[in-house]
Amino acid sequence: MFYSAFAYAALAATVSAHCTRALLKDATDKYITAQTNGQSSDMTAVASNVTYTENEQKVDIKTGILAQPLKIDHNRTIIDTTLCASFTELIVAKSEHPYVIGTRMLFTDHKATLIESIVTDKGDWAFNATGYLYWNSLEKWDPIPKEKRDSRAVIQAAGDAYFDRFNDTKIIVPWGTPCARLEGGAYTGAGRDLSTDTCTPAGMPSSIVVTNRRYVVDEEMGVVDIYLGFPGLDRTQGQLPMPDSHMFRIEGGQIRYVHTVSSCVTPGCGMNGTGPPIPT
Ligand SMILES: *[C@@H]1O[C@H](CO)[C@@H](O)[C@H](O)[C@H]1NC(C)=O
Ligand SMILES: *[C@@H]1O[C@H](CO)[C@@H](O)[C@H](O)[C@H]1NC(C)=O
Ligand SMILES: *[C@@H]1O[C@H](CO)[C@@H](O)[C@H](O)[C@H]1NC(C)=O
Ligand SMILES: *[C@@H]1O[C@H](CO)[C@@H](O)[C@H](O)[C@H]1NC(C)=O
Ligand SMILES: *[C@@H]1O[C@H](CO)[C@@H](O)[C@H](O)[C@H]1NC(C)=O
């Protein structure tokens, strides 16, 4: 009897810890429905003690952006069954008030215990939801065929190299060719041949230490999303790290696409309308 009770307990522990793609897909679909309807209660898999933030400030989930119905023109979700986490990219471009929103969720026992959104709109870094939607529509983010999938470590390392390079110009970033970076709505590939363009490192910082990296890695999609604090992004905030998400699509160990969502405190990040340094 001792044996079977023990086996049962072990099985129960395994089951409760098990995190599947189906579970996370369902939870993120419900998140998108909730944002569409402006009803956070449409999200059923949320822990009662959930921590909910927008641009790294604690917000009441019932009164934040989720309380506002939004017409979502594009959504993309990546799923991490190892960390039991997800990241969703939402674009609202064809509405009076456009938004680009990134949302990272962490789950424990099948419920979201952390939901952190970066909510960007006019005045945020390079913001242009029309551009975000347009350039996105030209990209191909199909699941990676099984025999071509990179390991979790390789995918994450490519994203990490990008940020390590911010503080050390000797770091080799595995840029792919072609490669394109979409920042707020500005595209490195604009006006270029998208089949051969590279993510030029021109304009990359050389002495910035990003803080607090948090990951979502999806091997099936070949994607790592890194949340981080970006010191100096908003010129009015000194070295205060700004809320930032970078999503990297990795193919054959190399960076194919980068999508960023970066929040400013002061509209225009204190650059007085001179615009962010987008490589041309
Ligand atoms: C929140 O509840 C979950 C169970 O749903 C538990 O694992 C977690 O430790 C709790 N977190 C806090 C901060 O109390
Ligand atoms: C998310 O996008 C897919 C197409 O990529 C679409 O089929 C689906 O309906 C969208 N989900 C919602 C809730 O809008
Ligand atoms: C936003 O992006 C669209 C599509 O690339 C472009 O036509 C438009 O000029 C951009 N708007 C601004 C203000 O840059
Ligand atoms: C950033 O670069 C400086 C100068 O090389 C170095 O002293 C420092 O340790 C680096 N910081 C990190 C976190 O890598
Ligand atoms: C923006 O304008 C303010 C006020 O004129 C000035 O103090 C600041 O240095 C300017 N910032 C940049 C990045 O030009």
Q: How high is the pLDDT of residue 279?
A: 39
Helix H or strand E segment including 155: helix 152-164
Q: Is 271 in the pocket of ligand 5 (CB under 6 A)?
A: yes
Q: Comparing C-alpha atoms, which of 154, 133, 161 is closest to residue 259?
A: 133
How deeply is 202 buried, as exposed, middle or buried, from its count of CB atoms within 10 A (0-12, 13-18, 19+)?
A: exposed
How deeply is 267 buried, as exposed, middle or buried, from its count of CB atoms within 10 A (0-12, 13-18, 19+)?
A: middle
How much of the chain, in percent, has pLDDT values that exceed 90?
Answer: 82
2, pLDDT greater than 60: no
If you average pLDDT over residues 251-259, what whole number do you get? 98
10, pLDDT greater than 70: no
If you average pLDDT over residues 159-188, what whole number do you get? 94
How much of the chain, in percent, has pLDDT values that exceed 70?
Answer: 90
Q: How high is the pLDDT of residue 257?
A: 97
- Separation of CA 113 and ligand 1 centre (Å): 7
254, pLDDT greater than 70: yes
Which of the four pLDDT bands, split at 50, 70 and 90, describes residue 190?
Answer: confident
Q: How high is the pLDDT of residue 200?
A: 72
| Amino acid occupying residue 66 | L
If you average pLDDT over residues 248-268, what whole number do you get? 96
- What's the whole-number average pLDDT of the chain? 91
Q: Per the structure block, which two tokens stand in for 278?
A: 């987008």
15, pLDDT greater than 60: no
Three-point CA angle 261, 262, 268, nearest 5°: 130
Q: Residue-wise over 136-161: b if at least 16 C-beta within 10 A, else e?
A: beebebeebeeeebbebebbbbbbbb
Q: Return the residue whose CA atom lies nearest to atom 2 of ligand 4.
A: 167
pTM over 0.85, yes/no:
yes
173, pLDDT greater than 80: yes
Q: Is the distance from CB of 150 to CB of 219 less than 8 angstroms?
A: yes
- Separation of CA 234 and ligand 5 centre (Å): 11
- Segment 49-87, tens digit of pLDDT: 999 999 999 999 999 999 999 999 999 999 999 999 999
- Separation of CA 130 and ligand 3 centre (Å): 6
How long, in residues, is the chain? Answer: 280
Which of the four pLDDT bands, split at 50, 70 and 90, describes residue 205?
Answer: confident
- Separation of CA 48 and ligand 1 centre (Å): 8
Q: Is 48 in the pocket of ligand 1 (CB under 6 A)?
A: no
What atom of ligand 4 comes closest to residue 164's alpha carbon? 14
What domains appear along the chain, each with residue ranges and CATH number? Answer: 5-119 (3.10.450.50), 133-270 (3.10.450.50)
Q: How high is the pLDDT of residue 20?
A: 96
278, pLDDT greater than 70: no
The H helix count followed by the E strand count for the chain is 4, 12
- Separation of CA 144 and ligand 4 centre (Å): 35
If you average pLDDT over residues 85-94, what whole number do you get? 98
- Segment 16-60, tens digit of pLDDT: 468 999 999 999 999 999 999 999 999 999 999 999 999 999 999
If you average pLDDT over residues 199-226, what whole number do you get? 92
Q: How high is the pLDDT of residue 276?
A: 60
To test the pocket of ligand 4, the residue of 167, 169, 213, 228 to mutate (highest count of ligand atoms within 8 Å of its CB) is: 167
What atom of ligand 2 comes closest to residue 32's alpha carbon? 13
